[in-house]
Structure 1
Amino acid sequence: MKILILGAGQVGRTAAYHLAREEANEVTVVDINDELLRDLQDRIDIRTVAGNGTQPRILEAAGARNTDILVALTNSDEVNMVACQVAWSLYNKNATHIARIRSSDFSSHSSLFGGEAPAFAVDVTINPEQLVTEHVVRLIKYPGALQVLDFADGRVRLVGIRARSGGALVGQQLKQLPMHIKGRNARVAAIYRGDHSIKPTADTTIEHDDEIFFIAARRDIRAVMNELQKREHPVRRIVIAGGGNIGFRLAQRLEMEHQVKLIERNSRQARRISEHLGNTIVLNGDAADEELLLEENIDTADVFVAVTNAEEANILSSLLAKRLGCRKVMALINRPAYAELMESGTIDVALSPQQITIGSLLAHVRRADVVRVHSLRRGAAEAIEVIAHGMQNDSRVIGRRIEDIPLPEGASISAVVRGDEVLIAHHDTTILHDDHVILFLTDRRHIEAVERLFDVPRRRHR
């Protein structure tokens, strides 16, 4: 598949890295910064073109005429929209055009990108800030979770959690789980002990500090979490550092049900956002100021979320908030090496916009009818939702029990959504036409084998 990426910023580089790792993809990246492109080309096997992605000459040189997917990920909404429109008008109307749109002024007007006669030829819009906001809101809703990922329009969720001493199931074998959550159903999809993946079996014993991914219907999530950790108190008091797009959106989403304080360094920005927030206390100051945090009783806060534009400031303020007694801290960190380092120490959750965003792109690259992709553990693992199509005579999965499907090593089917019914997968669960199948892959290198399993010659396109 030929993929053209416009923009070599943090999100663009991450997209290029993930997409270029798959052998079936030919990736070209366009950016006005020569140095960024040279650095990127030294790291991964891609083609680069220097220039403005809105100009026909540059798009032609980058191969827009034969591109299957164009992904506009520059920092400018206007550039992304115009580039998609120019590429559609002059080169390839059959390509999928994806644009990063950050401004709610644009995204709130559906006629710009949808309907019979959209103003811009954008098939899919992606807003990293909105995706990060929704990610944080889910983590706050489920205290103790490291990740909470939606499938089947939220009817099924995959939850990542750290097993802690005091949880009733810690020190016990997985076959004890049904007895602990009577009347409810869940499946452990993966267990990571340190850096190693452990295949979950009935005899697997859960140990303290194991990172466990389980899948369950939304109503059953808390029951499973309560067996793996001590019961967490509901989140009431939240402190947000940074009044940019993410911080402002977070406060808007949370202020009706929580006590929210927002710290913004820029006095003009603090004043501006305070005028648009009804119940949030907006403070003008530095979130890394110990005196300010103490004055605002950080030791009684349930969650501290640092989402400024400077990742060093996010790390420092989060470390300080934790030391001063905040129960849980989250920090927005762009660099993967920093994120991994911080998450293994004092910071509870390292938020990576690129990691959260990449799944939205991968879902449009997969061969089979993949509707949702979540990249996990810094891209090493994946969870996907794929629709099973075809008849028993032309499909490798339709009409077959899960135990009879030749899944590659490290891949497992965790749940099946059939209409409104959520079926937690067992060895004898049979896959039917139009089932939404949720899989976990501990090694994303096997994704092509999974795609081939679910791909049929005349599959229905979305």
Structure 2
Amino acid sequence: MKIIIAGAGDVGFHLGKLLAHEDHDITLIDTDEESLNHAANHIDVATVKGSSTSFSVLEEAKVSKSDMLISVTSSEETNLITAMVAKRLGAKRTIARINNSELLHSRDILDMRRMGVDEMISPQLLATKEIKRLLKEAAITDTFEFEKGLLSLIGITIDEEKPLCGKTLEETTYLNKDFKFLTVAILRNDETLIPRGDTRFQLGDHVYYIAKPEGVESVLQLTGKKLSKKIKRLIILGGGKVGFYAARSLSHKYNVVLIEKDRDKAIELAEELPNTLVIHGDGRNVDLLEEEGIDTADAFIAVTGDSETNIITSLVAKKHGVQKTIALVENMDYIHLSQNMGVDTLINKKLIAASFIFRYIRRGEIISLTNVHGVDAEVLEFVVNENSPVTKKELKDLGFPKSAIIGGAIRKGKAYIPKGDFQFEPYDRAVVLTRPECISKVEAFFR
């Protein structure tokens, strides 16, 4: 595919990085030469300097021959105009990053596709959905369900000496006799490991599992965790777009307190969020947090515009016994640090947006895709075709890439954690964790 990305910021760069492992022809457009040089030096892309709303710039990028144009600059207006112009100049499909959620809710009325914008994505709304997902279980740092919970991806930090610590994966198989779960990834000191039999667990490892419903509790017991009491009360710090959307979405299910330091904004939020208790104050003030009952909160979500504030206040919340802490950070390099910092999960709305867009470009029979926070890997769900190579041999004989692992299968409504003698059948669903550079090889097994 020929893909043009307008905007060489964090979203555009990460998207280019994800796509660089494919056989795509990628062109990056930006007005900032330094950003373009950085991208060209790190990923395999062509670059064009200039405004993506310019006819001549788009023509230089050969937009008329493009299969997809993705506009993810920091300007909503630029993104919309770029998509509209590109469509008129021959781009087959266009995606625009927006900030105004009203456009998403009114897309049918406005008929954005007729205007040339095939798809719109809002990083703020995507971050809100991610927060909602992460609140499902406090003891788990990351969770994602497949087929309404028949299989789940869960992430847990090993912070106790036993029974896993110091043992290899092979040495701990007796703890999983019924094969209710499978270890699919380990995040250790910023490095993502696809575990094998001789991989040894270490204290501080962040371990990811694919588990059946009954296997989730087994994993928690194995790692010294317990199913937490259900989250009922949560505090949101920051009344920006993410904080507002999160409060509006979560207040129907949880008792929500939102803290905003700008007085006028706090008053405005109180009027717009009738089901949320809005407090005017500085969340960095520990006394204020204590006054607002941080000791009785089940979750703390810090989404101010300052990454350091979000991290520090989340650590304060953790010290006060809050079960679940989520901090929004702007710097993508911070994402890998969450396991060492003590914050349960760090999220980056730009990274979430890039991964969301990525799924539109996939080729195989992928029906879902999720990014695991901090892990340099993607989790894909495939539908197995009738003639897929994966149906021809048992798992152990497939020659499946070492940088990927099949974590689970679903057949006729029943979940399986596949062993070496498992053989896929047509219309099965497969859950695979893979390093980005290996996605194309993995897809080939399911075509």
Do they superpose with TM above 0.5? yes
Structure 2 residue runs of 5 or longer lacking an equivalent are: none
- 1:398 Cα deviation from its structure 2 partner: 2.5
Mean alpha-carbon deviation: is it higher for 303-312 or for 374-383?
374-383
Aligned to 2:275: 279
Contact 1:319-1:346 within 8 A present in 2 as well: yes
Aligned to 1:459: none
The code of the aligned residue for 1:87 comes to A
Change (3 A) 1:306 1:229: same
Contact 2:183-2:195 within 8 A present in 1 as well: no
Query: Alignment partner for residue 230 of structure 2, among 211, 234, 238?
Result: 234
Q: Secondary structure at the match of 1:145?
A: coil
Q: Secondary structure at the match of 2:351?
A: helix
- 1:29 Cα deviation from its structure 2 partner: 1.9
The code of the aligned residue for 1:63 comes to K
Aligned to 1:103: 100
- 1:405 Cα deviation from its structure 2 partner: 1.8
Contact 1:240-1:307 within 8 A present in 2 as well: yes
- 1:269 Cα deviation from its structure 2 partner: 1.9
- 1:67 Cα deviation from its structure 2 partner: 1.6
Change (3 A) 1:60 1:312: same
Change (3 A) 1:174 1:433: same
The code of the aligned residue for 2:3 comes to I
Distance 1:260 1:417 in 2: 37
Instruction: Kindly indicate whether residue 297 of structure 2 is the aligned counterpart of residue 301 of structure 1.
Output: yes
Aligned to 1:12: 12
- 1:219 Cα deviation from its structure 2 partner: 7.0
Question: RMSD across aligned C-alpha pairs, in angstroms?
Answer: 3.1
Distance 1:211 1:324 in 2: 23
Aligned to 2:241: 245
Query: Alignment partner for residue 126 of structure 1, among 117, 121, 129?
Result: 121
Structure-to-structure mapping, 1:15-26, within 5 angstroms: 15-20=15-20, 22=21, 24-26=23-25
Change (3 A) 1:67 1:154: farther
- 1:327 Cα deviation from its structure 2 partner: 4.1
The code of the aligned residue for 1:242 comes to G
Change (3 A) 1:426 1:341: closer
Q: Secondary structure at the match of 1:364?
A: helix
- Cα deviation code 1:26-45 (max 9, x no counterpart): 32222344443344444444
Distance 1:446 1:352 in 2: 24
- Cα deviation code 1:277-319 (max 9, x no counterpart): 2332111122112232222232332222111122232233333
Distance 1:154 1:197 in 2: 25
Aligned to 1:269: 265
- Cα deviation code 1:422-443 (max 9, x no counterpart): 33323333222233221112x4
Structure-to-structure mapping, 1:177-256, within 5 angstroms: 177-178=175-176, 185-192=180-187, 194=189, 195=191, 197=193, 199-201=195-197, 208-217=203-212, 221-222=216-217, 224-231=219-226, 232-256=228-252
Mean alpha-carbon deviation: is it higher for 162-171 or for 227-236?
162-171
Change (3 A) 1:243 1:106: same
Query: Alignment partner for residue 343 of structure 2, among 327, 343, 347?
Result: 347
Aligned to 2:87: 88
Distance 1:30 1:37 in 2: 8
Distance 2:56 2:381 in 1: 38
- Cα deviation code 1:165-187 (max 9, x no counterpart): 398777885433445xx7x9333
Q: Secondary structure at the match of 1:129?
A: helix
Q: Secondary structure at the match of 2:23?
A: coil
- 1:112 Cα deviation from its structure 2 partner: 5.6
For these two proteins, the number of residue pairs brought into alignment is 442
Aligned to 2:36: 37
Contact 2:304-2:310 within 8 A present in 1 as well: yes
**TM-score, structure 2 normalization:** 0.87
Aligned to 1:460: none
Query: Alignment partner for residue 419 of structure 2, among 423, 426, 439?
Result: 426
Aligned to 1:448: 440
The code of the aligned residue for 2:152 comes to R
Aligned identity (percent) is: 31
Distance 2:18 2:157 in 1: 26
- 1:276 Cα deviation from its structure 2 partner: 2.3
Distance 1:96 1:177 in 2: 49
Instruction: Kindly indicate whether residue 151 of structure 2 is the aligned counterpart of residue 175 of structure 1.
Output: no
Structure 1 residue runs of 5 or longer lacking an equivalent are: 456-462
Aligned to 1:389: 385
- 1:247 Cα deviation from its structure 2 partner: 1.0
Contact 2:184-2:194 within 8 A present in 1 as well: no
Distance 1:38 1:192 in 2: 30
